[in-house]
Amino acid sequence: MRRFLITIFVILVVLAVGFFGLDRALAAYAEGKIADQTSAEIAKQGMRSGTPRVDVGGFPFTTQVLAGKYQKIQIDIPDLQGQGVKLPTLRLVATDVKAPLEALRSGQGSITAGKVTGTSVVPWDVVIAAAKLKDLTLSANADGSLKVSGTVSFAGISVPLTGSAKVAVGGPTTLRVQVTDLQGTDGNLNSVVKSLIAAYKDKLVFNVAVPKLPYDLKLSKVNPTADGLDLQVFAENVPLTHNAQ
């Protein structure tokens, strides 16, 4: 009896290992196909990137393949570039994904996601360059507010400045930055220079265009961080295939 139980146990272990290996092989195949489709979508938008990295969540994967429905698919797109702006990484999470096995196998047919959300950070140097700021820099304070600093010449006098700004979503692919406070760090400035600073501050409203993102993703939220502007994007009822109908 003991030998019989051991034999059954060994068989179950072998079957489990084999099933796990098959499951991971199918997952890797699907991830490769989705990465190819993502690259095609990026190219369709006239953009460039590194090779997308795809992770299909949920286990066992085999049952998801057979059902044609996936719990979650994460897509990391490195070095996404377009319209003069580069995003170091765009991370997308697709949920409620419907991908028939034949669509994955042939690359034809429709693979759709009920919802896609994403995050990316636009580095400060990219924001400053896109805004065409001269003599001023942007950074984040410890409390997450937006800080402005730099040195600007007024009436032939170089004046160190400091102040604050606010950033908001200005459109589906546009950020709007407005300087709300700007003062000289020297408390002994005369009234003429102070009035010039005030007039200069009122002109500091500008838009930063974000590249047209794949899958028609739109901006939903933006927050200043130490590394740059943290973007959140979303889209609904998204065709993940380049040739989806």
DSSP string over 66-78: HHTEEEEEEEEEE
Question: How many domains would you assign to the chain?
Answer: 2
User: Does residue 166 lie in a domain region?
Assistant: yes
Which pTM was predicted? 0.75
Tell me: the pLDDT tens digits for 211-224?
788 888 999 999 99
**What pLDDT, on a 0 to 100 scale, did the predictor assign at position 106?**
59
40, pLDDT greater than 50: yes
Range of the domain at 64: 2-115
Task: Quote the pLDDT of residue 245.
Answer: 40
> What secondary structure letter does DSSP report for 240?
-
Are residues 76 and 32 part of one domain?
yes
Residues 42 and 75 placed together within one structural domain of the fold: yes
Q: Residue 173 corresponds to which tokens in the numbers above?
A: 């692919």
Q: Can you tell me the distance from the alpha carbon of 119 to that of 210, in angstroms, rounded to the nearest whole number?
A: 13
Same domain, 167 and 224: yes
